[in-house]
């Protein structure tokens, strides 16, 4: 073991899963498994003793479950946590809650656990451990408060809920927590519909939408095919489909596409932004937020060619991973760079909802 290797603690109540994850991590020369824990209480003890950089955390465990352990781990130190989640509805909901509480990211257990050591999962786990470590090392932290809910535009305007703007958001790593921070800041009567592409597997986007709907004044849902865009509604792209738009007769509907992934992503931010560019909606606010890679920039360039959007990028200090916003900024398509908790204010001011 060398001092510069990433120190990983594995937490899972299954001895088999602990061994599988251990073997996957140990094949990477950049990483070292410093220990394992069988439940949340054991994890707290081992984390104190071993001082890991990154913790892989199961959710469903005896004695102390993963969510309770995560809350206590965060009080103990600034560990970077990657959730190892099941595909079940309960597992997806718990994972969304864990991300909201501050887990860096997650990997999903395959339905057949014996396929867990596949090269694809091994590579995904290694990349997320690496990015989690870099995020912790740089000390990047999002704002921990939701901020004050911005007042609505009032009841004097009977057409307050007319669709006058479209807000298109592209986001990836760190997205659930970022979205759960800013969505409650929008009033229910904004004259805009919101469409969101969050890189996330099928099944998890519905749990994300449900959770955001619980904490927001806006109506948040997983997008459905042929659904009419309405002001005051947020539509989350399903993890299995691209989200595109079709305008006809003065109205715009959502069209879900199962076309192949673009750049490895389905849903893709580029696909969504290009579709927005081809729609009849002229008043567009595009937001590119925390995430790895460059998804969204090509779509924003296309959007800029066909319309006059207001483009906001999340700043580096509040991005868990400053990849997608950085590339967009460097391309020259961004009008405004804002910290996470300021993004809603910039959007509302642009729409004239807030002075």
8 Å CB contact between 62 and 37: no
Residue 278 is a catalytic residue: no
Largest Cα–Cα distance in the chain? Answer: 67
| C-alpha distances in Å from residue 65, one per residue of 40, 42, 44, 82, 332 | 6, 11, 12, 15, 46
8 Å CB contact between 96 and 175: no
Asked if the bond preceding 144 is cis, omega within 30° of 0, the reply is: no
60 is written with which tokens?
Answer: 């469903």
Element (H, E) at 206: helix 204-215
Residue 172 is a catalytic residue: yes
Residue 295 is a catalytic residue: yes
Catalytic residue among 172, 180, 207, 279: 172
User: CA-CA distance, 179 to 169, in Å (whole number)?
Assistant: 10
User: CA-CA distance, 150 to 353, in Å (whole number)?
Assistant: 9
Q: CA torsion sign, 158 to 280 to 169 to 314?
A: negative
Helix axes 269-278, 297-306, angle to 10 degrees: 10
Catalytic residue among 32, 36, 181, 199: 199
8 Å CB contact between 59 and 98: yes
- Residue ranges in 217-296 assigned as alpha helix (H): 269-278
321 is written with which tokens?
Answer: 């991973």
* Residue numbers annotated as active site: 172, 199, 295
């Amino acid at each position: 073991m060398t001092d510069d290797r990433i120190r990983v603690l594995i937490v899972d109540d299954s001895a088999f899963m602990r061994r599988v994850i251990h073997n996957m991590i140990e094949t990477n020369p950049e990483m070292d498994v410093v220990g394992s824990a069988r439940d949340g209480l054991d994890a707290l003890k081992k984390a104190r003793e071993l001082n890991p950089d990154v913790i892989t955390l199961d959710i469903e465990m005896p004695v102390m479950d993963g969510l309770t352990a995560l809350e206590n781990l965060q009080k103990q130190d600034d560990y970077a946590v990657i959730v190892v989640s099941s595909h079940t509805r309960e597992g997806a909901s718990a994972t969304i809650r864990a991300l909201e509480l501050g887990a860096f990211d997650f990997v999903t257990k395959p339905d057949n656990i014996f396929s867990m050591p596949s090269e694809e999962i091994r590579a995904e786990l290694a990349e997320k451990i690496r990015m989690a470590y870099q995020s912790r090392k740089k000390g990047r932290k999002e704002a921990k408060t939701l901020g004050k809910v911005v007042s609505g535009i009032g009841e004097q305007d009977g057409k307050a809920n007319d669709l006058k703007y479209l807000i298109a958001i592209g986001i990836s790593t760190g997205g659930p927590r970022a979205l759960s921070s800013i969505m409650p800041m929008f009033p229910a009567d904004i004259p805009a519909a919101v469409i969101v592409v969050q890189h996330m597997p099928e099944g998890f986007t519905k749990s994300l939408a449900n959770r955001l709907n619980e904490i927001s004044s806006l109506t948040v849902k997983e997008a459905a095919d042929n659904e009419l865009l309405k002001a005051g509604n947020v539509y989350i792209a399903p993890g299995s489909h691209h989200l595109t738009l079709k305008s006809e007769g003065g109205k715009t509907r959502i069209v879900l596409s199962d076309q192949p992934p673009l750049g490895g992503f389905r849903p893709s931010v580029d696909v969504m932004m290009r579709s927005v560019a081809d729609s009849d909606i002229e008043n567009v606010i595009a937001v590119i937020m925390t995430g790895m890679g460059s998804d969204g920039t090509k779509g924003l360039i296309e959007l800029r060619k066909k319309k006059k959007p207001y483009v906001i990028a999340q700043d580096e200090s509040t991005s868990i991973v400053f990849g997608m916003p950085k590339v967009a900024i460097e391309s020259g398509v961004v009008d405004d760079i804002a910290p996470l908790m300021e993004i809603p204010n910039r959007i509302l001011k642009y729409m004239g909802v807030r002075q």
